[in-house]
Structure 1
Amino acid sequence: MEDRLKQLIQYIDEFERQGPYKMNVLKIMLERGYEDWHAPISITELARPYYDLVSKQHSTYLLKNISKDFTTPFSQVKVERHLRTLPLKYLSTTSTRISNISPPFELVDNMFYVREEYRIDGKAALDRIINVVEQKFEEYLEVYSER
């Protein structure tokens, strides 16, 4: 388990700072708690909390390069399209550049999954994953916000 947790953390840590999108998907999943964070989630279920989170961050941090979909009223169709083409696609298909770690996530039809070998339970594991996601988000803010 420790090896898989280290790989998952390294996978997240090695993402380039392209936007808050990937980390926001993970934040929403992690908010479900240490027993459920890795449960599959539908794009439909993810859309509204994702929109709310990105919109709030955009106004709080004055984020640059945010999709216009988050500065207009919520549209389920637009946000689902955004999720499919940006964060979920990249989380499920992009190997890391440095370590060449295969994605621990998969997108099948309209469902986003954590691969079975990365479904790690436990509060200590969840805390470590939350820490790396928050750190990655902070790195993004350093470059792309006007705090």
Structure 2
Amino acid sequence: MIGNYKNVETKLMLLGTVKDKLKRGDKEPITPPKGCIIEFDTQALNIIHRMRQPNQRKLRLIESYEQLKLDLGRRPTYVEIGQLTAVPTGYKQEWGSYVGFLKEQGELTAEEVETYDANRELIEQVEKTVMNRSYKMVVLLAMLERGEERWMEPITAEEVAPFFYEYLHAEKYREIKDAQTAELKGEFDAVKVERLLRDMPFSRIGSPFVFERNTLFVKVVEQHSRYLYKMMCDAVLFRMNLYFIISN
């Protein structure tokens, strides 16, 4: 059992007596065989505690996270979760967002928890907004390109258009999948690309984003802004990676 927490509940049962009369959630002390002792270090006890819950899907997701964390020797990024685990979208489906999962598992610092709690709507919207195309995430990438201090400032279609066009044409797989509309084919046409931005991603990205007078605004609580910036980058890159690479 050393270092192996998978199916831990089954293995722990082998160390004690299973009683049919025990109801779900009841606890039965583990009695080791005569002459044996059982010792768990703090990390192992924390893992076992996390895994003692009825939702088997959540259990598998926690297992995947813990295994990846063990392999990497640190907390995995969301992009790494997307690349190296079997069901990466499960975290947002079960916990609202990957950051929400990290909070529930006690993996966030106090500053990160404050940032998440203050901007939960924003983080979950980025995670859950429908992506029939990559356009919304490309717009967010354009915002994030401005850096930690300025990314949340209002942005216009004119500002986004050159980045938007160049990003989708920079790689052949992006061009084939998402740059086949009339507005994006051929040479860059600012008028056409700006019109596309206003008609599609700007007007459909949803609260807490607001589109008014050709400008996209986002409501942000600037608490520990560097952590929010990292959370946003991680979520956007995860979704782009999932859309362009994993889904193909």
**Aligned residue in 2 for 1:64:** 177
Tell me what 1:2 maps to. Answer: 116
User: C-alpha root-mean-square deviation of aligned residues, in Å?
Assistant: 2.0
Contact 1:9–1:129 (8 Å) recurs in 2: yes
* Superposition deviation, residue 85 in structure 1: 0.7
Within 2, Cα distance between the matches of 1:33 and 1:121?
Answer: 14
Take 2:201 and 2:242, find their aligned partners in 1: how far apart are those partners? 17
* Whole-angstrom distance in 2 between the partners of 1:112 and 1:140: 23
Q: With the length of structure 1 as denominator, give the TM-score of the two structures.
A: 0.79
Tell me what 2:77 maps to.
none
Identity %: 27
Distance 2:148 2:132 in 1: 27
**Residues 6-45 of structure 1 aligned to structure 2 (within 5 Å):** 6-45=120-159
> How far does the alpha carbon of each residue in 1:32-87 deviate from its partner, in whole angstroms, 9 at most, with x for none?
11110011112112111111112214x24454253232231010110011000111
Q: Write out per-residue CA displacement over residues 13-38 of structure 1, whole angstroms, 9 at most, x where no aligned residue.
A: 11223111000000010111111001
Give the alignment's TM-score, normalised by structure 2.
Answer: 0.49
1:129 equivalent in structure 2:
232
Unaligned runs of 5+ in 1: 95-102
Which portions of structure 1, spanning 4 or more consecutive aligned residues, are displaced by more than 3 angstroms?
60-63, 117-121
Paired residue for 2:241, among 109, 122, 138? Answer: 138
TM-superposed CA distance for 1:105, in Å, is: 0.9
Deviation at 1:122, TM superposition (A): 2.1
- Larger relative contact order (C-alpha < 8 A, sep ≥ 6)? 1
TM-aligned CA deviation for residue 118 of structure 1: 4.6
